[in-house]
Amino acid sequence: MGEKSLKTIMYVLIVVAVLLAGGLAYIWYEKTSLVDELTVEKEELTAQMIELQNDYASLSSDYDSINSQLDSSREEVSQLIERIRHTEATNRTKIRQYEKELGTLRSIMRNYIVQIDSLNTLNKKLTADAAAARREAAESRRQSEQLSKEIESLTGQVAVGSVIKARGLKLEAYNGSDKLTDRSSRVVRMMATLSLVENDLAPKGPVRVYIRVKGPDGILLTNDTQMTFEVDGEPMICSASREVDYQGKEVELSIYLNDIPSFMKGIYTVEAYTEQTKLGDAELMLR
């Protein structure tokens, strides 16, 4: 092999080495840029979690049951922050999971705020109602204490005795084959069943029963057929309803909830009402 051929081979090897070095440098640069982007994404997620932690810290109520739930959610937020800090930024699967958990905890906090506001409003109304009742009672006692007691007793007995009551409230989920299921991914509709019990003192005629179904996030499930109703003058939104002919005898009925886009895993609650009173509540767990 001549000297010229050796030089040619050497030049070729040099060119190949340069190209390989350039390729490796480009791969290193791309990897470094991706790691930097993922690190920034992790830092932003951590900042959002800390902000949510501060929001939870500033949230309080006068109700022991809600305070207990708040303490549990605060602990979940703290644990999630620690998990994020100990997770590599390049573990995109875990980071996406933590983003979903962040969204869930935000939704739960919004539900707490709604509950606290509702309870505060209800407490104010109950306080005002109680004060008004005390004034009316005092005035009635001044006029005729004994007569007032007799009227109050009779009115209470009639009102309580005439209220329609129910039993056996149950919430079930069905798949597309109209079979019972507890898998959230297969649910296409829900059905609430209950029985209006026998009561000869209750008014006869058509009675509409309303159901309110809430998902695990506390949000009321509704579709295009949603309607409002009142219980003791308080307006409410129902998930579904059905009217039956009540003649004082026991009546069994089912109420379907259709056209809900999707169902998540967790515990669903159902409450049943007439315009007179709340009939009861029940729960359903979906996997």
| pLDDT tens digits along 22-34 | 656 545 444 554 4
Are both 11 and 106 inside the same structural domain? yes
Domains held by the chain: number: 2
CA-to-CA separations, 191 to 60, 236, 245, 246, in angstroms, rounded = 36, 20, 20, 21
Question: Sign of torsion, CA 281 279 238 195?
Answer: positive
| Residue 56 included in any domain | yes
* Average of per-residue pLDDT across 239-254: 94
Are both 101 and 177 inside the same structural domain? no
Which of 106-115, 247-256, 268-277 shows the lowest mean pLDDT across its residues? 106-115
| Residue 145 included in any domain | no
Which of 80-89, 215-224, 266-275 shows the lowest mean pLDDT across its residues? 80-89
| Residue 181 included in any domain | yes
Q: For residue range 203-234, list pLDDT tens digits in order.
A: 899 999 999 999 999 999 999 887 899 988 88
* Average of per-residue pLDDT across 264-269: 96
* Average of per-residue pLDDT across 151-156: 50
Which of 22-31, 123-132, 231-240 shows the lowest mean pLDDT across its residues? 22-31
Q: Is the pLDDT of residue 269 over 70?
A: yes
Name residue, tokens 């009173």: 277
CA-to-CA separations, 138 to 145, 148, 213, in angstroms, rounded = 9, 10, 42
Burial class (CB in 10 A: 0-12, 13-18, 19+), 139: exposed
Q: Is the pLDDT of residue 280 over 70?
A: yes
Q: Domain span at residue 55?
A: 3-116
Under 8 Å between Cβ of 141 and 148? yes
pTM: 0.46
